[in-house]
Amino acid sequence: MKTVRVHASRTYDICIERGLLQTAGPQIAAVHAPCTCMLVSDETVWSLYGETVKESLSSAGFAVHTFIIKPGESSKSTQSLVLLWETLAENKITRSDLLIALGGGVVGDLTGFAAATFLRGIAYVQIPTTLLAMVDSSVGGKTAVDLAHGKNLAGAFCQPSLVLCDPDALNTLTPDIFADGMAEVIKYGFINHPALLQKLTEDYDIADIIALCVEDKRDIVEADERDNGCRQLLNLGHTLAHGIELHSGYTISHGSAVAIGMVLITKAAIHAGLCDKDTLATLLGLLAKFNLPTQTQFTCEQLCEAALEDKKRKGGSITLVIPTKTGTSELKKYPVDDLPAFVSGAWEIL
């Protein structure tokens, strides 16, 4: 088993091994005494893995309740959060009990935010079942739900007690959902990991790719858990991506939006003389390899309007992640009034 230890406000392990879904119960019991737990999942994941994980938990001594949501971003809502709170209260979950997220980023974010806020905080475990969740959203303690004005606008920092990544769960992903995760993998490469980008051009074991991404995020989170400095590098492509998601009514997936967002910010950086053109060629090649989109129907004005409601805005400025060359990105602060002029450069680069 590959184990990555995170030293943040809570110290915990990220375990990566095939077959962990079948042994989730004893793995969790090793870090949290058997208790009453609420197993949160969505209908699709539950039909595939729910009973397996529930049986493993029960065999390890946990009393298991379940909360199942509909799949998709629309379930990452204040309505779902309130219903989950009420279900926890109805089942008399206490501060010594446990929430367990079994699913992708929507399930993980919703469960984590409920754990952060119910009874002013109880423990939770992440069992991500998508590549995107394994390499990104299950690690680092960011939890949230969406509001009408934007993605992840209500949330809390709350580190899990354990993360269990079973690469076998990726076998049931559709190609487009797997590609969503690869967008986040590519993002890590363009932030600070050119060796990861090279691996993606060769034969690779997806478990090794997950471990490289998790180790990278671990290092960044340990340096800046509360997202005030270098952790903002993890937002490469995301500021514009969240606008794409919002304007599409979340019909464009997060990974697809991030792919487009990375292309736009790279083009804008090239237009501004901050990045070389070879970086764009490398990015476009990798996105094409994993069948990810590179263009958007939305205008510069639409995306900038959404960006100015993003969490990364602070007063009259917004921090953007700017790729400067393949495998290197930097943080650059812009006055909000200058954002449209900078971003519009993306439409000038073919």
- Residues 139 and 274 occupy one common structural domain: no
The pLDDT confidence band at residue 350, using thresholds 50, 70 and 90, is: confident
**For the chain, how many structural domains are there in total?**
2
- Residues 146 and 222 occupy one common structural domain: no
CB of 306 within 8 A of CB of 243?
yes
Q: What is the pLDDT of residue 310?
A: 67
Domain that includes residue 132, residue range:
2-172
- Residues 188 and 125 occupy one common structural domain: no
Q: What is the pLDDT of residue 271?
A: 97
What mean pLDDT comes out for the span 23-50?
98
- Residues 234 and 339 occupy one common structural domain: yes
What mean pLDDT comes out for the span 328-336?
95
- Residues 158 and 258 occupy one common structural domain: no
What mean pLDDT comes out for the span 327-332?
97
Q: What is the pLDDT of residues 184-239, one digit of tens each?
A: 999 999 999 999 999 999 999 999 999 999 999 999 999 999 999 999 999 999 99
Domain boundary (172, 200, 226) is at 172
* Average pLDDT of the chain to the nearest whole number: 96
What mean pLDDT comes out for the span 283-292?
98
- Residues 313 and 334 occupy one common structural domain: yes
Q: Measured between alpha carbons, how far is 133 from 210 in angstroms, rounded to an integer?
A: 10
Specify the CATH number for the domain of residue 226.
1.20.1090.10
- Residues 190 and 144 occupy one common structural domain: no
Domain boundary (152, 172, 192) is at 172
* CA neighbor of 128 nearest in space, from 49, 197, 60: 49
- Residues 221 and 297 occupy one common structural domain: yes
- Strands 63-69 and 36-42, by their bridges, are parallel
- Residues 246 and 298 occupy one common structural domain: yes
The pLDDT confidence band at residue 314, using thresholds 50, 70 and 90, is: confident
Specify the CATH number for the domain of residue 22.
3.40.50.1970
- Residues 159 and 11 occupy one common structural domain: yes
Q: What percent of the chain has pLDDT over 90?
A: 95
* CA neighbor of 6 nearest in space, from 217, 234, 230, 227: 217
What mean pLDDT comes out for the span 35-60?
98
- Residues 235 and 165 occupy one common structural domain: no
